[in-house]
Every structure is written in C-alpha cells, then in structure tokens.
Amino acid sequence: MSLEELKASVDRRRRFLKYSASVVILNVLGGMGFRELTTARPLSPEYPRPRSLPELGYIVHREMNVAIDEPEAPNLQPDDPGEGSIADLPAMIGNGMQRAADTGITNIPDNAREFFSYYGADDVPDPSRRRCNNHAYGACRSFSRYGMPMHLLAIAPPLRHFLDIDWHVMAFCPLLSRSDGERAHLVFDNGTAHLWQHGGLASFVAWNERKSPPDARRAISAYGIARYREPKYSITHPLLMHIAHAVDEADMEALEVGSLSPQRGSSIIA
C-alpha cells in the first residue's frame, strides 16, 4: 500500500468515526428530548376513590349519563390474526389507495388537521366529528379525577388493512376485588361503559369486534396499552404520551374494590 493510499484509508476512518460520533450524540439528545417532551405532570385527584361497584356505577352515571353494561360470558375465543409481514405491504397500499379513491383524496387535509388539533380533545368544534379518541381521553380525564388508574387501549387491523380499516381507541380501568382477588376491567368505548369479567383485554376486544369482518381489529402488541398521563407541555401530542407510557397488561395498576359481584340485582347502579 502506497503512502497516499494509507492516508486516504486513515481519512476515511476518521470521517466514519466523526459520523458515528455525531449519530450517537444526536440519538442521545433525541432520546433526552423525547423523554422531556413526554414528561407527565402529577395527577391530583379531586374526589375520593370509589370503593365498590355501586359507587362506580353512580360515578359513571353522573359523569356519562349511562349505566354500566355487564356482558354475559361470550361463546368465543380471541384469535390471533398475526402481526403481518412484508408480503402484506402491496395489499396494504392497494387497500389504502382504494379507500382514498372511495372517500375522496380531499379528506386527507381535514383528517390531518383533526389529528393534530383535536386528537383526544374535549372541545371539538363539530360534535358530530367527535371520534373514539375524543371519547376515550374524555373518560380518562373524568375518572382520573376520582383517583382511578385510567389506561388507554388501542386496537388495529392486520397489516394489510392498516390504511383502509380505522384504528380504534378505548379507555379502561383495571379492577381488583379486595375480597377474593378476582380481576375485571371497566371499559369505556364511544360513550358506553362495560364491566368485563370474562378474561383479559384480548377477550374483550374479540367480543367487542364480534360483528366485524374476518379481518377484525386486535390490540396492538407493543404499544396497545398505555397508562393515561397528562403531558407536562401543552405542545405534546397525546399519541406521543401513549407511546412513552405504554405498559404490558401484567404491569397495569388496578383499582381495588370491595367485590366484583353486583350487590343489588342485575344492575350495579346503587
């Protein structure tokens, strides 16, 4: 190797090391910025926590003007449509283009504006445009005032239908019976409330999507469940908070109540 070739090799290595160091520094700064941006401010409950199902029923009726539905045990099992693979990408793009053609490409700017301005907001200018995320975040804000550990549940279709079947967001509060350790979920979905006592969240989603087509939505595996947290900064989008505060189902905090069995007939409204 000549002297010129050796110098050229050393220069390339120096440039590579400088580039690598820059990438590392940018990643560190980006991670620090994301953590700061998604910092949650402390939640300060305004009311005492409910201690029983009748109390929960009263609070739900007062905040939402609905009764808590108690679905019967379903005769179904949650299925696993799979995570999808790169082979599904052409179908995903084709389905998305077909939906754009059906609904009109002019809807995209309006949808983008709603996503950045009104995602999870209570004050949507047109009430008819309130979406599942508005209902879910509204429920989280209402019931976190009672010290209830509120969570968000995001579900999505298989990869091939990511662009043509809407995603969906619900709110829920895990429940734990102090008397026997039995678990349940109080789920809020588009202005309704369900007390689910027939397994985990995957079973509830399967029941909730039972009338959907075969490509029904399922919980997103990595970031489907997140603790509800209010952002420290008003510029932080709720979706960033969802990603930053995602948890596994086993790590959820639960609200302890006296019993998960209705105390007064078939309704838990006191």
Q: What is the pLDDT along the chain (270 residues), one digit of tens a residue?
A: 565 665 566 566 655 555 544 444 444 445 556 678 888 888 778 888 998 999 999 999 999 999 999 988 776 655 555 555 555 555 555 555 555 555 655 555 566 666 667 788 887 777 777 889 999 999 999 999 999 999 999 988 776 666 666 788 999 999 999 888 889 999 999 999 999 998 889 889 888 887 666 667 777 777 889 999 998 888 888 888 999 999 988 889 999 998 887 654 344 443
Q: What distance in Å separates the CA atoms of residue 241 and residue 230, rounded to the nearest whole number?
A: 8
Measuring CA to CA, how many Å separate 154 from each of 129, 164, 228, 243?
Answer: 19, 16, 12, 11
Q: Does the pTM exceed 0.85? A: no
User: Looking at residue 110, what is its pLDDT?
Assistant: 63
Q: Between 53-64 and 132-144, two packed helices, what is the crossing angle to 10 degrees?
A: 130
Q: What distance in Å separates the CA atoms of residue 206 and residue 77, rounded to the nearest whole number?
A: 7
User: Looking at residue 160, what is its pLDDT?
Assistant: 64
Q: What distance in Å separates the CA atoms of residue 176 and residue 140, rounded to the nearest whole number?
A: 18
Q: How many residues does the chain have?
A: 270
